[in-house]
Structure 1
Amino acid sequence: MPLSPLEHDRRYGELDQVIRAYTGQPADDTPDKPSHALTAYLRQTWHTRPWALAVAERQLREYADNPPGRLRLRLGEFYAIPDVGLPEAEIQQWLYCLADHIRHSIEQGEVPPMAAPATHWEWQTRFPELTQFLGGWFSQDMPDEFDDHDAAVDDYRTTTDPHLVARLVGELHELLALDLDEPDYALAVAELGMEVDPPAPYPPSAWLAFVAGRMSAPRADYGPGSGPQTDTP
């Protein structure tokens, strides 16, 4: 039978995070240099969950030492590594290579400096609530679900727990603090799941700043029979 969620996380949870970091990225690590994907994983994890690095190193090495045999394959009691573009015969050495890089980073204290996210995984891991907001309320279906961008923003604000709204505001300010060029902000919102353009005449950064201000404003207490009045951005 398949692994239970608890057993999966205990044995493979952080290994899975490492492998997810390679989504859309080449597994081109060498003994001398980690890939962009692994560097992104190291940067994000060092700055948010440094204790998890040792767990990742152990799980990678244990999986490479004991790849799933015939019985575990037949029972489904194993973690299936997604296709990362490497021949199956090279996967084991690649896992050892990743474990070696992570161990070196821990033992030498080599921490990638803070920077704008470099991969799809890093964008969405660094800005999880912004990913939920843009991907959930501003997908390609947004024009069919809401009258305009304002209506979508208001729907998120009124239907989402205030603690998550506050988290979103923080992530918006963190994204704006990266001080990217406008094309890079356009790339950022796309990586975070936005599938429609910001409303005219706003470029992405100005619209993100507007949304941050709107989410930060106190919620009005409307009396019976009245509804919130939306402002035109």
Structure 2
Amino acid sequence: QERAPAEAYNAYWYKDGESRHPIYFDRAKRSGERQMAFFKKYADKLYLPDFDPEDNLQYYEAVIKWRPKEILNLKSEDEYPLVATNFKTPTSPSRCSGDDQLPWLVEASETFDPQFGTICINPVTAKQYGVQEGDIIWVESKNGKTKGPAHLSELFRPGTVNIAGALGRIVKSLGEKAYNRPMYNLLCNGKPSESCPFQMGVQNNVPVKIYKARTGKIINGACVCA
């Protein structure tokens, strides 16, 4: 049955400021119980690397509980004391349709968006590490590292390292410029224990450290450094 566009919104059905939102997720609870029964039944026949059913399925609960993560308690003396984040920009939301390979879009991004292809940090954090605007820096996690020119901005919270879009490539056959852009995926991993228990999405906020590259320069909008 065809419906009016307005009927797609919750507010259409619940008038006078009323609305309805679930707070008890019974389906999630039942799903977790079914999965746990399956793992117990076939415990002697299953081997899933880096997967703990007890730990994973605790999140399948009817009422969501707050579980603070270690990343919220990083200290300056830790090996990886900063938090890496990935965010979208108007010209670099993702890599769908090869956005990072479209010449006009890339040219507009390089011309008008200082966050494109750079590693964005707060000036306070930059001062702590002796980093200035345009310096080529490495960002390293326990999983890997990536590099790029630093961009200093108050838009970003102190203690964070921020890389926009889905840029960077791991092979030069797709272009020297793309190869030398910062690639956020290199900081993450696909381990089940560090992924979303519900959808297995990769955990994309990871502890990192930064340091200046020994040598480096910008060539055609991308950095080449060691």
TM-score, normalising length: structure 2: 0.27
| Higher percent of residues as helix | 1
| Higher percent of residues as strand | 2
TM-score, normalising length: structure 1: 0.27
